[in-house]
Amino acid sequence: MTGAKGDGTKDSRVLFEFRRIGASVKVSAIDPTTGTEVSLVGPASAGERALAEAAVKKLRYVLARRAAGR
């Protein structure tokens, strides 16, 4: 699966993993260029697209903080 473009990485692809746990879903988003991985848990009722967008937003945040040296 691909993520939104313009995330500041050389490769704009993002890999996703979705694991349903009862009424919740754990989403992992991985930047294949850097190997950086983030995860979050949200309600399954939110839908895959909304959860993926939230995971990409968190991944961009983490990548930006690392780029800034924080």
Does 60 map to a domain? yes
Q: How many domains does the chain have?
A: 1
Residue 8 forms beta bridges with which residues? none
Does 8 map to a domain? no
Does 23 map to a domain? yes
Please give the residue range of the domain that contains residue 55.
15-67
Higher-confidence residue: 5 or 57? 57
Contacting residues for 50 by C-beta, under 8 A, at least 6 apart: 42
pLDDT digits (tens, 9 = 90+) for 42-68: 999 999 999 999 999 999 999 999 999
Does 4 map to a domain? no
Which three-class secondary structure string do you get for the chain? CECCCCCCCCCCECEEEEEEECCEEEEEEECCCCCCEEEEEEEHHHCHHHHHHHHHHHHHHHHHHHHCCC
pLDDT digits (tens, 9 = 90+) for 12-25: 799 999 999 999 99
| Predicted TM-score (pTM) of this structure | 0.80
- For residue 22 the two structure tokens come to 């009862």
